[in-house]
């Protein structure tokens, strides 16, 4: 399936600082890239997504950038808060087999008050 | 909108028994649903794609005879873990999307399976 790599696996930041998580994918036909936040024992929740016709999308403190040529996209969280602490997953679809989502390995973000 | 309901939320069963997990799209029709498995502190691993009215498509390494998937209607998919063993203990999550392929997946609450 689609090969999605995510870095870093863990990330600790001071409250108020920014956090950046990066993902790469392998299917050049992929055209939609979501980011999910998962709290312990709960289901993943979509926090932001981007389609391949734009290079950047922002929603308040969260932004996603996409470089289709290089096949990578990144999640940016500014002014981090303790409630941002969670595991974040990127995903990319494998287009030619039906747009199944393959997920990155996850990033455990800890925001230190 | 786009609510996916999954039951049960947790189940404990003995080795050798079978467990059925239901996934329903409550306010939209889903011709395709996806089943994922997540071990502790790991990522979501796609197990299979459930197709309404036809056979499921399984990922490499996932035993189709062990993880039976039925997608009998546009709002219901079931995953049956047959002859469960302790190594099948995991968090199983279903998902579906209401719109086009170029849209987000919505997840059920997940099912925590413990096989004793």
| Inter-chain touch A105–B42, beta carbons under 8 Å | yes
Measured in degrees and rounded to the nearest 5, phi and psi for residue A95 equal -70, -45
Nearest CB partner across the interface for A103, out of B43, B57, B60: B43
Is B101 in contact with A96 (CB distance < 8 Å)?
no
Average pLDDT over residues A79-104: 92
Nearest CB partner across the interface for B109, out of A1, A32, A43: A43
Nearest-angstrom CA–CA distance, B107 and B6:
9
The residue among B34, B37, B39, B43 with the most chain A CBs within 10 A of its CB, best to mutate, is B43
Nearest-angstrom CA–CA distance, A51 and A34:
9
Nearest CB partner across the interface for B59, out of A1, A44, A103: A1
pLDDT at position B103: 80
Tens of pLDDT, residue by residue over A21-38, are 999 999 989 999 999 999
Is A75 in contact with A65 (CB distance < 8 Å)?
no
Q: What is the 3-state secondary structure (H, E, C) of B54-111?
A: CCCEECCCCCCCCEEEEEEECCEEEEEECCCCHHHCEEEEEEECCCCCCCCCEECCCE
Helix (H, G, I), strand (E, B) or coil at A82: helix
Helix (H, G, I), strand (E, B) or coil at A56: strand
**Mean of all residue pLDDT scores within chain B:** 93
Is residue A109's pLDDT more than 70? yes
Nearest-angstrom CA–CA distance, B30 and A43:
19
Q: Which residues of chain A make contact with B32, given a CB cutoff of 8 A?
A: 98
Tens of pLDDT, residue by residue over A43-85, are 999 999 999 888 999 999 999 999 999 999 999 999 999 999 9
Residues 38-57, chain A, touching B (beta carbon < 8 A) = 41-46, 49, 51
| Inter-chain touch A43–B107, beta carbons under 8 Å | yes
Nearest-angstrom CA–CA distance, B35 and B76:
12
Question: Rounded to whole angstroms, what are the CA distances from B110 to A6, B10, B38, B93, B95?
Answer: 23, 8, 10, 4, 9
Of the candidates A76, A71, A42, A36, which has an alpha carbon nearest to the alpha carbon of residue A60? A76
| Inter-chain touch B46–A102, beta carbons under 8 Å | yes
pLDDT at position B100: 64
Residues belonging to chain B: 116
Q: Which residues of chain A make contact with B107, given a CB cutoff of 8 A?
A: 43-45
Average pLDDT over residues B57-61: 94
Tens of pLDDT, residue by residue over B68-87, are 999 988 999 999 999 999 99
């Amino acid at each position: 399936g689609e090969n999605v790599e995510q870095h870093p696996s863990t990330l600790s930041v001071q409250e108020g600082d920014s956090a950046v998580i990066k993902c790469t994918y392998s299917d050049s036909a992929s055209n939609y890239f979501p980011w999910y936040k998962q709290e312990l024992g709960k289901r993943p929740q979509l926090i932001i997504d981007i389609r391949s016709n734009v290079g950047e999308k922002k929603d308040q403190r969260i932004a996603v950038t996409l470089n289709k040529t290089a096949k990578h996209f990144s999640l940016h969280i500014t002014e981090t808060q303790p409630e941002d602490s969670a595991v974040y997953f990127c995903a990319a679809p494998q287009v030619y087999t039906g747009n199944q989502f393959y997920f990155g390995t996850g990033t455990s973000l800890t925001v230190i008050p | 909108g786009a609510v996916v309901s999954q039951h049960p939320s947790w189940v404990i069963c003995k080795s050798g028994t079978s467990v059925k997990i239901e996934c329903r799209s409550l306010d939209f029709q889903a011709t395709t649903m996806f089943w994922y498995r997540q071990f502790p502190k790991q990522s979501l691993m796609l197990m299979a794609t459930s197709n309404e009215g036809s056979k499921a498509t399984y990922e490499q390494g996932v035993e189709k005879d062990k993880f039976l998937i039925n997608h009998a209607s546009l709002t219901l998919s079931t995953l049956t873990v047959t002859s469960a063993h302790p190594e099948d203990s995991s968090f199983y999550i279903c998902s579906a999307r209401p719109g086009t392929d170029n849209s987000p997946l919505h997840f059920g609450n997940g099912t925590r399976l413990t096989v004793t």
